[in-house]
Each structure stands twice: as C-alpha cells, then as structure tokens.
Amino acid sequence: MLDDFFIRALIAGIGVAIVTGPLGCFVIWRRLSYFGDTLSHSALLGVTLAYSMEFNIAFSVFIISSLIALTLIQLQKRTNLPGDALLGLLAHSSLAVGLVVIGFLSFIRFDIMGLLFGDILAVTVDDLFIIWIGGALILLVLKLIWKPLFASTVNYELAEAEGLNPDRAKAIFTILMAAIIAISIKMVGLLLITGMLIIPAAMARNISSSPQRMVMYSIIGGLLSVILGLFSSLEFNTASGPSIIAASLFLFILSLLNIKQSIKLKN
C-alpha cells in the first residue's frame, strides 16, 4: 500500500495537518505569522546544507530554523530595530543565502519548485516516519507546555505572577515551530508552510467560541484541506502545496458565510 506515492502523500499530509492545527492556533493568537514566514524561508538554507552534506533534510531544516529563531531573539535584545524589520531581515537574507548556496551546488540537481511549493512525489516511507514520530513528539511537548503557553498568550503578567514560567514555554514553542516547518516542508513547500499553519486556524476562529473548539476545528480544517488539496493535485496535476492551501482558502471562505449568518441571527 505504501508503494503508492499518493497513499504516502495522503498519510504524510494527514500527519502534518494534525500538528499544524493546534500550532496554527497559537500562531494566530500570538501573532506569529511573520515569524513563521521567517523560519520557513530560512529552511531553504537548511535544505541546501542537507543536500551538500548528504544529511537528512528535516533534521537540517530543524537545526537551521532553530538557529534563526535564536538569532532573532538575540537581535531583539541587542538592537533597537522593530520586530518586523528584524523578521524581514532574517527571512530575506536567509532565503537569499540559501539561493546563492544552491548556485554553488551546480553539481546537484535541484527541484526548486518542489522545494518552494511542495511535491507529493517526493514523499518517501522515511519521510512518513519523520512526520508521524516528529509530529507525535511536537504534540506531546505542546500538551506539556499548553497551560503556561496559553496563559501567557492571554496575559503574560498573570502567567508570570502565578508561577507558570511563560518565558520557558515561549522558548520551547519557538523550537516546536522550527520542528513543524522541518517535517512539513516536503508536503507543503517552504513558501506555503505558514499558510498551512494560519489558514485552517483562521477558519476555525470564525466558527468557534472556545479555545479548545478552535483547536479542534483547526485540525479538521487542516485535514479537509490536505485531502481535498491532494486529490485535486492528483486530478489536475498541480503542485501539492498550492493545492492544499487553495483548498484551505476555500474552507475559510465557507466559514465567512457562517459568520454572516450568525450576525444576521443576532440582529
């Protein structure tokens, strides 16, 4: 069964969606979408390093993205530049450096489009293991830091005052962000990972009244997007990443209709 590339892609996509659902909610709540972009752009550098050193892609992306995240935190402390400028600086410079390095690696054949937008043909059985084991670890850690992370998202001072150590939760969450990018890069492609994180979560926000429900709907939205996207990718021979994101956009638009109805009901 796993011989079929499409089944492999489907299993991989489902694994990714289950993890991006809850993480995406935090990305929205904590306003981290540009942070996600920066990390995923830096992933290109990780990929090129993986190729040039014949190293596992997910692992090397994880390392590079974590390093970029740490660099960002240091720069925030040491410079007076605003956060968005620092994010832009890191995002574009790491993307540029990654592309330059690709130029030097002319002896390796690169599927740039696949890297940027995802390629379902590229998902191997090894990747499935990385996605499902990595994904399970991410969810486990997220569950462990859920309380301090959520409390400090609502109000930092309350969390700090009542002894929840929000700074540690924030640092761990940053690492989880790097990890989700690492495991989903083959499916969604590095330019669209943030979309996979925020669009299902944004859809869920429109239709949910509590944080738990938002997480649940976000997972469901992600799953539907992956399934719809992958089938249409197969059907119309389009890249997997854009197809998945387009499907999630479709779900988001549906959720807007729901809002309109509920506003009408209120009036």
Residues that bind another protein (CB under 8 A): 28-29, 31, 147, 150-151, 153-155, 157-164, 205, 208-214
Report the nearest approach of another protein to the CB of residue 220 (Å): 16
Report the nearest approach of another protein to the CB of residue 256 (Å): 16
Report the nearest approach of another protein to the CB of residue 229 (Å): 25
> Distance from first CA to last CA of the chain, Å, rounded?
53
Closer CB to another protein, residue 5 or residue 156? 156
Single-letter code of the amino acid located at 13 = G
Q: How far apart are CA 62 and CA 46, in angstroms?
A: 8
Closer CB to another protein, residue 80 or residue 237? 80
Report the nearest approach of another protein to the CB of residue 197 (Å): 14
138, 176 Cβ separation under 8 angstroms: yes
Q: What are the phi and psi torsion angles at 210 (to 5°)? A: -140, 155
Dihedral sign of CA atoms 209, 35, 124, 118 in order: positive
For tokens 């976000």, the residue is 218
The token duo for 176 is 């989880």
Closer CB to another protein, residue 28 or residue 182? 28
Closer CB to another protein, residue 108 or residue 158? 158
Q: What are the phi and psi torsion angles at 159 (to 5°)? A: -65, -45
172, 66 Cβ separation under 8 angstroms: no
Closer CB to another protein, residue 114 or residue 211? 211
Report the nearest approach of another protein to the CB of residue 258 (Å): 14
